[in-house]
Amino acid sequence: MRRDLLTSVIAVVLCTVVFGLAYPLAMTGVAQVLFPGNSNGSKITQDGKVVGSKLIAQGFTRITPTGSKHGPKFERVPDPRYFQPRPSQSNYSADATFFSNLGPNQKATRDEVRANLHAYLKLEGPYNPGLTAADVPVDAITQSASGVDPQISKANAEIQADRIAAVRHIPLSQVQGLIDDNTQGRFVGLFGEPGVNVLELNLALDKEVPAK
């Protein structure tokens, strides 16, 4: 019996050393050598500064005056010069993630989706005459699981392309070309869903047509 207890204690210590230290540290070493970019967060740098990660969505908003006499004088609205990511319950937090936990039969869910739908139609409607709720891809009006989903559906990007082309005064075909360049396909053409990486797309856009 005492022997069993002693063996158990040694086993716990040994497992901690092997699986808790040796294994993760060895994997870290190998990963840092083989995949230094990927293992450190797939960061994107511009002019030596980190502007984000290609795997993590970020907001593309700007501050405008509200024009209201009471309440806040400024508000953040979607920046029309940029493709917009999916709505986020966490304001695109990558260090304190949480689910929206909005249930299927909750009024709160309806209100959230409705507000997102109206905002989307308000932003894209002027550039897409005749755009109705039925045309809006569902990923554009629902919050992702992580709150930092880096992608949008291609259908969503195609609708936003009209706005981008108009605001940036460039041909629609040029924008569509950039969308295609920044679309990730399915694994072996079968598994998963295609998606457009919003941050990479916006950076590519800025490179071709600097935002004014």
Partner 1 sequence: MAQGWLQLVAFVAILIAMARPLGAYMAHVFRNERVFLTPIVGPVERLTYRILQVNPSDQQNWKVYARNLIAFSLFSWLALYLILRTQGIQPFNPAGFHSGPWDLSFNTASSFVTNTNWQYYGGETTLSYFAQMAGLTVQNFVTPAVGICAFLALTRGVISRSGEGLGNFWQDLVRSLYYVLLPLSIVVALILVSQGVLQTLGGAVTATTLEGANQTLALGPVASQIAIKQLGTNGGGFFNVNSSMPFENPTALSNFVEVLSIILIPAALAYTYGRMVGRTRQGWAIFATMLVVWVALVATIYPAEQHGTPAEHKAGSPTIALADSTGGNMEGKEQRNGITNSALWASTTTVTSNGSVNAAMESLTGLGGAVPMSGLGMSEVIFGGVGTGMYTMLLFVIIAVFIGGLMVGRTPEYLGKKIQAREIKLASLGALYTPLAVLVTSAAAIGTKYGSPSLFVRSGPQGFSETLYAYLSQANNNGSAFAGYTGFVQPDAPGNAHSYGITFADVIGGLTMITARFIPILFVLAIAGSLATKKVAPAGPGTMRTDNPTFVILLIGVIILVGALTFFPALLLGPIVQSLTTRLF
Whichever of 69 and 130 has its CB closer to partner 1, that residue is 130
One-character DSSP codes across 37-86: HHHTT-EEEETTEEEEETTS----EEEEE---SSS-SEEEEE-TTS----
Tokens describing residue 45: 């740098």
User: Collapsing DSSP states into helix, strand and coil, what is residue 120?
Assistant: helix
Q: Which of 66, 69, 77, 92 binds partner 1 (CB under 8 A)?
A: 92
Q: Which of 64, 135, 172, 207 binds partner 1 (CB under 8 A)?
A: 135
Q: Pick the piece of the chain touching partner 1 (CB under 8 A) from 65-73, 122-130, 137-145, 167-175.
A: 137-145
How far apart are CB 208 and partner 1 at their closest, in Å? Answer: 15
* CA neighbor of 211 nearest in space, from 177, 46, 203: 203
Whichever of 38 and 66 has its CB closer to partner 1, that residue is 38
Give the integer Cα–Cα distance in Å for 152 and 144. Answer: 10
**Judged by CB under 8 A, does residue 105 bind partner 1?**
yes
Instruction: Say if strands 195-197 and 183-184 run parallel, antiparallel, or are unpaired.
Output: antiparallel
**Judged by CB under 8 A, does residue 138 bind partner 1?**
yes
Judged by CB under 8 A, how many residues of this single chain contact partner 1?
A: 111
Give the integer Cα–Cα distance in Å for 116 and 89. Answer: 12
Q: Pick the piece of the chain touching partner 1 (CB under 8 A) from 24-32, 65-73, 123-131, 166-174.
A: 24-32
* CA neighbor of 200 nearest in space, from 162, 143, 152: 152
Residue 65 pairs in a beta bridge with 74
**Judged by CB under 8 A, does residue 210 bind partner 1?**
no
Give the integer Cα–Cα distance in Å for 145 and 192. Answer: 16
How far apart are CB 134 and partner 1 at their closest, in Å? Answer: 5
By the 8 A CB rule, do 60 and 78 touch? yes
**Judged by CB under 8 A, does residue 41 bind partner 1?**
yes
Q: Which of residues 150-209 bind partner 1 (CB under 8 A)?
A: 150-156, 158, 184-187, 190-195, 199, 202-203, 206
By the 8 A CB rule, do 159 and 167 touch? no
Give the integer Cα–Cα distance in Å for 123 and 120. Answer: 5
Q: Which of 139, 160, 168, 201 binds partner 1 (CB under 8 A)?
A: 139
How far apart are CB 69 and partner 1 at their closest, in Å? Answer: 27
How far apart are CB 82 and partner 1 at their closest, in Å? Answer: 7
**Judged by CB under 8 A, does residue 143 bind partner 1?**
yes
